[in-house]
Amino acid sequence: KFDLTSSRVAIRQGTGPRTPLFFCAAGRQRCLRCLFTMGFFGAQVTAEGEVLQVEIQPDMVLNVTNVSSGTAAGDLQVATTDTGFLTICNLEDKGQWATNLKFAFEDSPVEFRAQGDGSSFAVTGFWEQVAEEDDEEWDEEDEDALEEALQKMIAEGAQKRKRSRDEAEGEAGAEGNGAATEEEVTLTPEEEERKAKRAAKKARRAARDEERRAIAAAFAQAEKEDSAAREAAEEAAGVGRRVAKPKDRVLKGNLRVMDRIIGNGKPVRKGKQVRLTYEGFLKKEDGRMFDSNMNRGRPFKFRMGTREVIEGLDRGVEGMKVGGVRRITVPAALGYGAKGTKDGMIPPNSTLVFVVEIVGAQQ
């Protein structure tokens, strides 16, 4: 456990006995998974079952504003001192979620973990310092105004009590008893003073909460504008249109496809050659990648409808356009079946997940 002077937070990671996540030297705190500088918060949550723990100091509030996923779908779960692990979002691969979650000292320690084969999440936000001394500073600066308001309230209360007594003296019987009851519920000057202080403190707290909401809204608006500008630039460059809410489509044989980006031009056709980049993952194993051509310097090409590749991939790219990105989930029956591959990279009865991008097609 390392206490970070600048960010007022300590981080630990691991299951069972907590193990240190990073080291501190020369006033800087850096690691492969987390970065804390000048109020920014960023953490990488990876590997199913591995826990990232954040401890929050009494004068700090952690604001989580964005969660993005890696190349595999999964759930991000969070636990506080009062609750067990709860799922706060479910994202597909390379998905994003804009949020406004706040964690205070009372919630500490806050723990994050990823659930799902090969899932990973980048959690970002910012630290906010809560100035506990605000109440005292406010009282000193506005003491005269508060005193004047309290005296005015006390005087008004005294006048009301006097009128009640005068009315009670001129009435008899039940009216007199009613006046006594009225006198019993009247606040004393000390009670009036305490009531006024509570009201002033509540107003200050409401003002601070409103300021925090305004900061969070500004962050969310900035992220929204950045996303809109990025999508406009991609569309102008001809790289296709992003799908706002991608969903799985189930085809014959339980073949599933999910479009993330719709490309441009005409859809690819059977009998024509198609060129693509791809990444292949095992869904029901450990989510590991079994093949990819992303770093080979040239796309993979095949002629559609001629069974040059497994049936699930051949049928899965039907209808795509150049520049399009699609996730294809291939059941074992449309992949390598009950035998798997001879080299053992793909076990028997494996469901495969491909993320493909069409980079060229014969028209």
262 is catalytic: no
Whole-number Å distance between alpha carbons of 149 and 193: 10
User: Both tokens of residue 242?
Assistant: 């992003």
Choice among 36, 103, 121, 278 that is catalytic: 278
In the Cβ-directed half-sphere of 207, how many Cα atoms lie within 13 Å? 9
Whole-number Å distance between alpha carbons of 162 and 185: 14
User: Both tokens of residue 198?
Assistant: 């509570």
278 is catalytic: yes
Q: What are phi and psi of 126, to 5 degrees?
A: -150, 155
Choice among 215, 291, 300, 302 that is catalytic: 291
291 is catalytic: yes
Helix (H, G, I), strand (E, B) or coil at 329: strand
Choice among 75, 121, 354, 358 that is catalytic: 354
Helix (H) or strand (E) holding 125: strand 120-129
Whole-number Å distance between alpha carbons of 74 and 76: 7
Q: Examine residue 109 and say whether the peptide bond preceding it is cis (omega within 30 degrees of 0).
A: yes
- Straight-line distance from the first to the last Cα atom of the chain, in angstroms, rounded to the nearest whole number: 60
336 is catalytic: yes
Choice among 219, 261, 336, 358 that is catalytic: 336
CB burial class (10 A; 0-12, 13-18, 19+) of residue 226? exposed
Phi/psi class of residue 142: alpha, beta or left (left: φ > 0; alpha: ψ in -120 to 50)?
A: alpha
Whole-number Å distance between alpha carbons of 234 and 323: 10
Choice among 22, 290, 300, 302 that is catalytic: 290
226 is catalytic: no
354 is catalytic: yes
327 bridge partner residues: 258, 355
As annotated, the active-site residues are 278, 290-291, 310, 336, 354
